[in-house]
Structure 1
Amino acid sequence: MKRRHIAPDLFEETSAGPRLVGGRNKTDGRVVFPLPGGSERELYERMLLGSKGTLWGWTVQRFRPGSPPYAGAGKDDFRPFVVGFLSIPDEVIVEGYIEAEPDTLRVGQPMELTTRVFSTNADGTEVTIYAFRPTI
C-alpha cells in the first residue's frame, strides 16, 4: 500500500517514530510549528519537535468543516472527532487530531505523537496526518 503525508515538511517518520517538523528562529530562538515557508523560511532553522507532551485543552468537532480547505470524509460519512492542543515541553503548543474519547481526557494528561490515515485516494494511496494519543 502506498502512503503519503497530507503536506510536505509537516512531519516525518524516524527510527524512533513520527516527529513534527518545526523551526527555531535564528534571531530569538522562538520555536514555531509548522516550519514557515516562502521568504520567511530563511529566518528559521529546521528542527524535529519532541514527540511527547501534555494535553493543554480539547473540543469535539461535531460538524463537517467547510470545503475547501477540509478534504476529509464526505457529508454522509462524517463522524465527530476530538481536536486538541498538546504542549510539547520547552518548545511549542501544537493543535491536532486526538485519538481518544472526550470523556477519557483531562488537562495535563500525558500524550504522544502518532500518525493515522486521513483519506485514501482513487489510486489506493493512503494520505496520512499526524495525531496525538494518550500514553499508556
Structure 2
Amino acid sequence: MPAHPDLIADNLFDLRADGAPVLYAGRERTSGRLVFPLPADAERFERVELPERGRLWSFTIQRFRPKSPPYAGDEAFVPYAVGYVTLGEAIIVEARLVDVAFEDLRIDMPLRLTTEPFRLATGETRLTYAFAPEGSA
C-alpha cells in the first residue's frame, strides 16, 4: 500500500479513491485474533479493513492540555472528546470524537469514520482518523 503523504502514520488508515477513510487492523494468522493498530509484522498479521460504522462504547472529555508531543501546544487549548468505538463484533478502537457537542454524546450512539486535521509539534498538519455521529456533515 503506498503511503499517503498527508496521513498521520503509515498502515493506520488510508483514503480511498473517493476520499473516504478506511481503518486497518491486523488479523493474527495463527489465531484469527484482531488487533489495532495493524502491526508491522506482515508474516504474523494480515491487513484487515475495519467497518466504517460503529457504536460509541465509552468516552471522556479531554479538558486539559496534553503534556508532551505530538500535541503542538503553542495554540490555545480547546477541550475535545475521545471515545472507544466498537467496530463489528471483534474490536474496539480509540479515537477522537468530532462534530458533536459534548452533552449530546451517548453510549451506543451510531458513529461513522471520518478524518480530522492534526497539527504536529513541527507545525505540519496531517490527517488522522476520527469518528462523528451518523448523519453529521
**What range describes the TM-score normalised by the shorter chain of this pair?**
0.7 to 0.9
More helix by share: 1
Q: Distance in 2 between matches of 1:20 and 1:77?
A: 30
What is the identity, as a one-letter code, of the residue corresponding to 2:11?
A: D
Aligned to 1:20: 23
Calculate percent identity across the aligned residue pairs: 39
Matched, 1:135 2:134: yes
More strand by share: 1
RMSD: 2.0
Aligned to 1:119: 119
What is the identity, as a one-letter code, of the residue corresponding to 1:29?
A: G
Q: Distance in 2 between matches of 1:80 and 1:41?
A: 37
Query: TM-score scaled to structure 1, two decimals?
Result: 0.85
Q: Deviations over 1:46-71 (max 9, x none)?
A: 1111110000010000111121xx32
Aligned to 2:43: 42
Report which structure shows greater RCO (CA 8 Å, sep ≥6).
1
Give the C-alpha shift of residue 14 in structure 1: 1.3
Aligned pair in 2 of structure 1 residues 41, 30: CA closer, same or farther (>3 Å)? same
1:67-86 matches, cutoff 5 A = 67=68, 70-86=69-85
Q: Could you list the runs of 5+ residues in structure 2 that have no partner in the other structure? A: none
Q: Could you list the runs of 5+ residues in structure 1 that have no partner in the other structure? A: none
Q: Distance in 2 between matches of 1:18 and 1:63?
A: 29
Aligned residue pair count = 129
